[in-house]
Amino acid sequence: MKVSKLKSLLINIFKKKGLKYIDASISANAIINAELVGAYGHGLSRLKMYCDRISKKLINPKPRIKIKKISQSISHLDANNSIGFVAADIAVKTAIKNAKKTGIGMVAVKNSGHYGLSGYYAEQAVKKNLVTMIYTNAPPAVAPHGALKSLFGTNPICFGIPSGSKVPFILDTSISVINRGKIRVAANNNQKIPKEVALDKFGKPTTDAKKALEGVQLPIAGYRGSGLAWMVDILSGVLTGANHAGRVKDPFDDFSGPQNIGHLFITFKTNLFVNNFNNRIKDNIKTIKKLPRIRGVKEIMYPGQNKYKRFKMYSKKDIKISKIIKKDLKILLS
């Protein structure tokens, strides 16, 4: 399906659910971006979930989002249970505006929902020649180191910086070995997941995606990954006033109330400490890329390069719609 047609369909679906045109458009753009960079677990596979939560009044289609100005640099946003895309869009734009005025911008968000890919918002700041760090928590999926029960989310960590070229440096990674969206997609399509990424509910390693969803996901680097997940839970949950310590509700399975996810957006100018940042970052990347490569590696890539290549490639093609997604679209458009 052509991107323009898909965008129109998504906007119509969200408008039917009560979103204003601008909010529907923001949401559609974020979902399509996930498809275009190959992050299918954050794209159309989640559309029905968003719509179901709107129908059950767990996502507010017409939120009254409040922005409390703490200082010229710092703002606190109450998303009023809006769809996460809209809250994140306002938050990152506010952080950008604050940074452009004072050199640094920080925006904390509470009462939000799942907002898709952190890297999507990081790119907006990087395009304005800003450094950015973004944190968000998520429903329980990962057990803290030493625990038998999942509590932390896959809690992505995102860092973006201008690279001195048209391809930005964007590190967007969950603290789990693979993100939960990929496991859900695998479960829906009866596909296996890789070894050593999850345990079943009995604590045994599994490649069965459905059993993995019932069990726990494994963090990157053992206890270090667990520590990073805890850090993100504090920064985006404890600090912002959002849910934390395992209280973020699973959007697919828990309809007992809004998710109340928290986000933290930090942006700052590249020239705060040096005036020749562009030359320094180019030198940094060039030096690393010139290192001797192991056999089979054509190029040492920096974070964001592969994603940019996928975006350029997929943008020239129609977006593939699976049978499951076609069925969802038909139901949502009826």
Mean pLDDT for 82-97 is 98
Residue 188 confidence (pLDDT) = 86
pLDDT of residue 147: 83
Local structure of 123: helix, strand or coil: helix
Q: What is the CATH number of domain 1-55+305-334?
A: 1.10.1530.10
Q: Strand 74-78 to strand 104-112: parallel, antiparallel, or no bridges (unpaired)?
A: parallel
Give the C-alpha separation, 168 to 92, whole Å: 17
Identify the H or E element spanning 289: helix 277-289
Q: Which of 56, 109, 80, 47 has its CA nearest to residue 257?
A: 56
In this prediction, residues 192-208 reach a mean pLDDT of 91
Q: Which of 61, 125, 29, 19 is nearest to 258 (CA)?
A: 61
pLDDT of 142 over the 80 cut: yes
Res 183: pLDDT: 92
Answer whether residue 203 shows pLDDT above 90.
Answer: no
Q: Could you read off the pLDDT of 259-310 as tens digits, one per residue?
A: 999 999 999 999 999 999 999 999 999 999 999 999 999 999 999 999 999 9
Is the Cα dihedral 246, 247, 251, 256 positive or negative? positive
What totals of helices (H) and strands (E) does the chain contain, helices first? 11, 9
The proportion of the chain whose per-residue pLDDT surpasses 70, expressed as a percent, equals 100
pLDDT in tens, 286-297: 999 999 999 999
Work out the average pLDDT over 155-160.
97
Stretch 250-257: mean pLDDT, rounded? Answer: 95
Give the whole-angstrom CA distance, residue 225 versus residue 220: 5
pLDDT at 33: 97
pLDDT at residue 51 in the model:
97
Higher pLDDT, 179 or 49: 49
Residues spanned by CATH 3.30.1370.60 within the chain?
64-176+219-303
According to CATH, what is the number of the domain 64-176+219-303?
Answer: 3.30.1370.60
SS3 67: strand
What is the C-alpha to C-alpha distance for residues 154 and 254, in angstroms, rounded to an integer? Answer: 17
Enumerate the CATH 1.10.1530.10 domain ranges in the chain, comma separated. Answer: 1-55+305-334
Please enumerate in sequence order all residues whose Cβ is within 8 A of that of 46, keeping only pairs 6 or more positions apart, or say none: 31, 114, 116, 181, 251
Average pLDDT of the chain, as a whole number? 95
- pLDDT of 21 reads 98
Give the pLDDT confidence of 219-239 residue by residue, as tens digits.
988 899 999 999 999 999 999
Residues 326-331 have a mean pLDDT of 93
